[in-house]
Structure 1
Amino acid sequence: MKPRTRGTLAAVVTGMAAAMGAASPAAAAGTVPVPVPLDGVEHSLNMEMPTIAAELPLPVPGAPDGPRYVEGRLLPDRALPQLPVSTGLPGANVRAPLPRLLGDRFDHVAVQAPAADVRALAPGLAVDAPLTAPNPDNFGLPDLKLPQAGVLAPMLRTVPGADIVMGPGL
């Protein structure tokens, strides 16, 4: 391989490693921070503006629970398995100044709602055929039975929370 080709390859690999390194903290955290820049408004109006930051969750699909084979049934227990999804509720951090009536200092009010984990399970389907397993008393032929169909209910689990704080300083 020529030295120029090696140098180009090294630069490409280094750039890809830097891009992967920059993306991995957000993926590892499960949320992406989103600051709202209000500095320009603060300087143009010459007044204290609130600080606003948000956290947007990254949905992560899980592996579906595979079909379960049950003795005496022709079809598996879950024909359409439920798909689990893990994500989070968006978080917010808002801090706004409140002018004091006496003095020139500012107090603040803050609302902090951290991103909360959400675990969801998509609906599934359980179906059984109108035939039984082969019956040796009936010369190996299956017997008839009523067909069965059921919907597996979806599930949603989360524990959201928020704090409202008032205090001195900005």
Structure 2
Amino acid sequence: MKSSPRGTLAAVVTGVVAALGAGAAAPAVAAESVPVLVPLEGVEKSHNMKLPKIGGEVPLPTQGRPEGPHYVEGRLIPENTLPQVPLEAPLPGLSAESPLPRVVGKGFERATLSAPAADLKTLTPGLSLDAPLTAPDPEASSLPTLQKPQAAVRTPLLRTAPTVDMGLGQL
């Protein structure tokens, strides 16, 4: 197959346009949670009564970038051997509204409960190890010596601040 300058130029231009088009396209916005509604309207109509309205949010966790192992002078095994992985997600949210019969007068009042999705940040446990040998000393040209092996477990982290709103009102 014979390559012509026109064909080569067309292939290059097509590749550049495709690359620019892919870079310019706006990425889809990732949702942090998916809303969930409990449909009770059919039961409400069939029984001719007011029922609670219930809904919520199911979180979608996203994984962060772990801090990888890094070398420290004087150690044979890198520090942060098993890195901690950050995960972020909102806690599930809940909203509920229930009618309450009014004791005095006509109509209904309502009781509401709202627990919005709260941010949740976590870190998985990590591990740092050190070998039972010291690093060789290049100035003294000595062999590694024995030392006590060391192991450190990095504790997991869980951070959040959930809130709840409760109230009474007229329907």
Compute the TM-score of the two structures, normalised by the length of structure 1.
0.80
State yes or no: 1:54 paired with 2:60. no
User: Which residues of 2 match residues 128-147 of structure 1 at below 5 A?
Assistant: 128-136=130-138, 138-147=140-149
> 1:137: how far off?
5.6
**What CA distance in whole angstroms lies between the structure 2 residues aligned with 1:143 and 1:52?**
66
**What CA distance in whole angstroms lies between the structure 2 residues aligned with 1:148 and 1:138?**
25
Judge conservation of contact 1:135–1:143 (CA < 8 Å) in 2: no
Q: 2:89 is matched with which residue?
A: 87
Judge conservation of contact 1:89–1:116 (CA < 8 Å) in 2: yes
Deviation track 1:52-105 (CA, whole Å, cap 9, x = no partner) reads 110111011111111121111111111100011001211100011111123332
Judge conservation of contact 1:113–1:163 (CA < 8 Å) in 2: yes
Moved more, 90-99 or 133-142: 133-142
Q: 1:117 is matched with which residue?
A: 119
> 1:138: how far off?
4.8
Unaligned 5+ runs, structure 2: 1-25
Deviation track 1:100-129 (CA, whole Å, cap 9, x = no partner) reads 123332110000000111101000110001
Bigger CA radius of gyration:
2
Moved more, 35-44 or 94-103: 94-103
User: Which residues of 2 match residues 23-42 of structure 1 at below 5 A?
Assistant: 24=28, 27-28=30-31, 30-42=32-44
Q: How many residues align?
A: 145
**Higher relative strand content:** 1
Q: 1:78 is matched with which residue?
A: 80
Unaligned 5+ runs, structure 1: 1-20
**Higher relative helix content:** 1
Match of 1:75, SS?
coil
Judge conservation of contact 1:125–1:149 (CA < 8 Å) in 2: yes
Compute the TM-score of the two structures, normalised by the length of structure 2.
0.80
Judge conservation of contact 1:127–1:150 (CA < 8 Å) in 2: yes
Runs (4+) off by over 4 Å: none
- From 155, 158, 165, the equivalent of 2:157 is 155
> 1:133: how far off?
1.5
Judge conservation of contact 1:84–1:122 (CA < 8 Å) in 2: yes
Q: What's the C-alpha RMSD, in Å, of the aligned pairs?
A: 1.6
Q: 1:69 is matched with which residue?
A: 71
